[in-house]
Structures are given as structure tokens and as C-alpha cells.
Amino acid sequence: MAKILYRYNAATCQYEPIFLTSKQNTKRAFTFIGVSLMLALAGLWYYNAHYPSLDEVKLQKENQKMKWEWEVYLDKINELSKNLTAIENTDDNQYRVLLSMTPLEQSIRTAGSGGHEPYILDEKDQVYEIKSSYEQLYRILNRLDVESQSVAELEKEINVQEKKTSTRPAMMPIDNRQLTRFNSIFGMRMHPIYKEWRNHNGLDLTAPQGTPVYATGDGIITTTEWRGGYGNAIFLNHGFGFETRYGHLSRFNSSAGQHVKRGDLIGFVGSTGASTTPHLHYEVLYQGKYVNPVNFMYRDLKQKEYNKIIKH
Ligand SMILES: [Zn+2]
């Protein structure tokens, strides 16, 4: 039932009912609908402006998750870079120093990583961050390439130096316990047989006939034959410019062309050639010149260590 509106009439001092015409009624209805519609639209606009839609909420969550993941990813890149820097420093300041190699130049370490056109993007833009991280990762990959090449160089150098060390004539050719006399005269001396001043180019190690003679470093036997004053002689080529010679042997325990290791039994002490008593005449040559063998020996080699090297 429609409400009846009343208006106070001052003239009659009474409330009188108001009767609206249908036109007035229609106008009021439209006004009501119009205002309601405007309020509804205003409400919708306010809501949209201040509250995200369900899709937006989902996107925001995904975005947040990606940001976290991105931060973890950046952390990992930085960690990787730091670890690589530590490896590069160890390479340059320890391994290369130990091996007497020059450190890699910084320009080599960064080669190939500095030639990119910078990406011209707003720094606040996330895409910029992605691209700059890509750049960083790219630089790390380049540095890794250089480092792995450097490690290969180090390995090569280590092999060469190992070989140099194992071929160096670095020990006594006979066991100290067999040694009755150690004549370390290297240079001019009166020759016991020729009775004249001659250059003595090696060491004379006096020991009983048949005492084992050992190779003093790795190498290839080039001679096992009678050689004048040397008598029965072994010549051993060690490479890297080194040669050792073993004279006055009673017999051989090796043959020409044979590869030997330090400590291999190659012959036996005798008194063949220009010799008056059983002894080993031992020479070391470097680039064809006689050098004092004593300078190449491990003078502090203990008997136990010597026993480990020699192979009977
Ligand atoms: Zn001699």
C-alpha cells in the first residue's frame, strides 16, 4: 500500500494529504533510479580502485613468488662469482707462484665479457635487472672458460715439472753402506794410472766388486759397452739436457734402449778400464758439459729413504 504524504496547512491549521500527479510520480521514480544507478557506479569505481580483482590477487601472488625466486637466483649468481674469484686468486697467487708461472693478466681473465653493447633500459625496470643479471652470468661463464684453460695449463706444467724432478740425477748411485771411500774431487787431480794432472770429471765411489749400481734418475740407457778408460760403461740420457755415466763396471744389468726409473739396478761395481781398485766412476753432464754430481744429490737423503728408492 502506497504511503500517503501529508503537508501542514497554516491557514487551516490542519494536515492535508498530498496527491501527486502521475507525471510527478514518474519523475520521482526516474530520479530515484538515476541516483541509485549513480551511487552503484560510484561504489563500483571505488571498489575497483581500492580492491584488486581475484585475477589481480593471483597475479600479485605469482609476482611476489617470482621476486623471491629471483632474489634467490641473484644470491646464487653472486655466490658463484665469489667462489670463482677465490679459485682465480688461488690459481694466480699460489699454484702459479709454486710452479714459477706468471699469473694470468686481468685482461685475459675478463676477455670476451666486456664487449657488449649496454642495454638501454630504465634502471627501475625489472627487465633491466634480468638483462643485467644475464650479463653477469655471461661474464661468469667466460671467466670459468678461462679458468678451466688455466687449470689445464697448470696440469701440463705439473707433469713437465714432475718429469723434470724424476729424471734429475738426484741420488747416490750406490748404497752408502757399501761405500768404503767417497772421493769427491771434481776438477784437476793427479791421475793414479796416467800419473799426470788431468781433469777428473766425476766422483769416485769405492765399493766392493759386485756392489749394485743404481740409475740416479729416470731416463733411457744409450750405451752399455766398453769405452776406453771407462772400461765397461753405462751412459744414461735423462732428457732436459742431463746425462749420467757409470764407469769401470764389472758387468751390466741393463741394455741400450732400455727405459729405467730412478733406483733401478743397472750394473755392478768393478775395476775395468783405467782403474786400480774396484770403484764406480760416476759423472753427470748437463748440456754436454761435466758438472759436479754432488750438486744434484739429495745430500740429506736418509738410509731408510734411500732403501725405498732402490730396487734390487
Ligand atoms: Zn774416476
Give the separation between CA 78 and CA 133, rounded to whole angstroms.
Answer: 10
CATH architecture of 176-309: Distorted Sandwich (2.70)
Residue 235 has pLDDT above 90, yes or no: yes
214 within 8 A of 253, measured Cβ to Cβ: no
Range name among 89-103, 132-146, 157-171, 283-297 with the lowest pLDDT average: 132-146
pLDDT in tens, 77-95: 999 999 999 999 999 999 9
Q: Phi-psi region for residue 187, left (φ > 0), alpha (ψ -120 to 50) or beta? A: left
- Taking the centre of ligand 1 as the mean of its atom positions, its distance from the CA of residue 147, in whole angstroms, is 52
- Taking the centre of ligand 1 as the mean of its atom positions, its distance from the CA of residue 185, in whole angstroms, is 9
- Assessment of whether the complete model's pTM goes beyond 0.85: no
pLDDT at res. 112: 52
pLDDT in tens, 159-185: 999 999 999 998 899 998 888 877 667
- Taking the centre of ligand 1 as the mean of its atom positions, its distance from the CA of residue 212, in whole angstroms, is 17
pLDDT in tens, 99-113: 989 888 888 887 655
- Taking the centre of ligand 1 as the mean of its atom positions, its distance from the CA of residue 277, in whole angstroms, is 11
Residue 123 has pLDDT above 60, yes or no: no
- Taking the centre of ligand 1 as the mean of its atom positions, its distance from the CA of residue 166, in whole angstroms, is 25
Give the separation between CA 53 and CA 59, rounded to whole angstroms.
Answer: 10
Give the separation between CA 269 and CA 252, rounded to whole angstroms.
Answer: 9
**How would residue 201 be classed by pLDDT, with cut points 50, 70 and 90?**
confident
- Taking the centre of ligand 1 as the mean of its atom positions, its distance from the CA of residue 168, in whole angstroms, is 21
Amino acid at 227: R
Residue 116 has pLDDT above 60, yes or no: no
pLDDT at res. 48: 82
pLDDT at res. 125: 61
pLDDT at res. 115: 46
Residue 114 has pLDDT above 60, yes or no: no
Average pLDDT over residues 219-238: 96
143 within 8 A of 109, measured Cβ to Cβ: yes
Cα 309–chain centre separation: 32
- Beta-carbon contacts of residue 82 (< 8 Å; ≥ 6 apart): none
- Taking the centre of ligand 1 as the mean of its atom positions, its distance from the CA of residue 105, in whole angstroms, is 51
pLDDT at res. 299: 61
pLDDT at res. 118: 47
Domain extents in the chain: 5-50, 66-167, 176-309
| Highest-confidence segment of 119-123, 125-129, 159-163 | 159-163
Q: Three-state SS for 132?
A: helix
Of the two residues 191 and 45, the one the predictor is more confident about is 45
As a whole-number percent, the residues of the chain with pLDDT over 70 amount to 91
